[in-house]
Amino acid sequence: MSKISRLRDELRVAPGTRVDLSKVDPADRHGWTRDGAEKATAEQMTRLSDLQDRFWAEGEKSVLIILQGIDAAGKDGTIQKVMEAFNPQGCTVSAFKVPTPEELAHDFLWRIHKRVPANGEIGIFNRSHYEDVLVVRVHNLVPREVWSSRYAQIRDFERMLTDTGTTIVKFFLYIDREEQRLRFQERVDDPTKRWKFSMADLDERALWDDYIAAFEDALSECSTDHAPWYVIPANRNWMRNLAVSSILAETIEELRPDYPPAADLPPDLKIE
């Protein structure tokens, strides 16, 4: 097994296991140096670009990438990095913020289903349906019996998507509390990043333990063979980028995308 393939196995949440994030090191290098990881990431990005071109041309299936993480975990940075490899014609990005009144008038999966990528597309979700077992739970927006029943509903929803041709890859970007503090401080100190910071972020930070407990349950309840979760050590951006790009490349390559044959073209066609 290659070092890249081994990393994928190491970060995957095995279905049926209980996740304890206190036993996961968000600064873990998994045997990589920064120079080695950055070189390998560049190789994975080239690999992803070729795979996406074939995937878009083939147009038979879709891939859904889900990014979750506590505030400042690096979701935006991951999207920016991954997007470097993809032709925007075949890639969509959806960010899920506070639900609108129209969205709240429907079931919690309604707004999600509308944004699932079409055949040939790779879709990236910045946050997702998991907010309804994370934020909703931490802030007591619905009763426990409501949010706790959503784990099974999410599993069924993701099973339906995979059964109908969507491959789902879920990344939990894991940073520790001190790294979040440093990133918040950087936003405050840097005029070009200050717009990303809100005093409300500090209110959310005070709920750190509640969020970690909610993430542990979501990862444990909803990592399945058909839609696995990967816990990404995200304290170091270079390690995060390697993990996400390599797991995506491995996953898409297993779908064996290829260019479709030319249709109804005579073998001796000459264009005048």
Q: Quick one: which of 227, 255, 252, 64 has its CA closest to 156?
A: 227
| Residue pair 122/63 in contact by the 8 Å Cβ criterion | yes
Tell me the per-residue pLDDT of 98-130, one tens digit each, with 9 for 90 and over.
999 999 999 999 999 999 999 999 999 999 999
Six-digit token string for 10: 């190491």
Tell me the per-residue pLDDT of 167-198, one tens digit each, with 9 for 90 and over.
999 999 999 999 999 999 999 999 999 999 99
Six-digit token string for 189: 């100190």
Neighbours of 91 (CB within 10 A): 21
Tell me the per-residue pLDDT of 56-80, one tens digit each, with 9 for 90 and over.
999 999 999 999 999 999 999 999 9
pTM for the predicted model, two decimal places: 0.96
Six-digit token string for 224: 């399945």
Tell me the per-residue pLDDT of 241-271, one tens digit each, with 9 for 90 and over.
999 999 999 999 999 999 998 777 887 888 8
Ordered alpha helix ranges (H), 121-231 = 135-138, 144-163, 177-189, 199-205, 208-222
Structural domains of the chain, with CATH: 3-254 (3.40.50.300)
Partners of 124 in beta bridges: 65, 93
| Residue pair 67/129 in contact by the 8 Å Cβ criterion | no
Distance CA 28, CA 227 (A): 24
Q: Map tokens 């919690």 to a residue.
A: 108
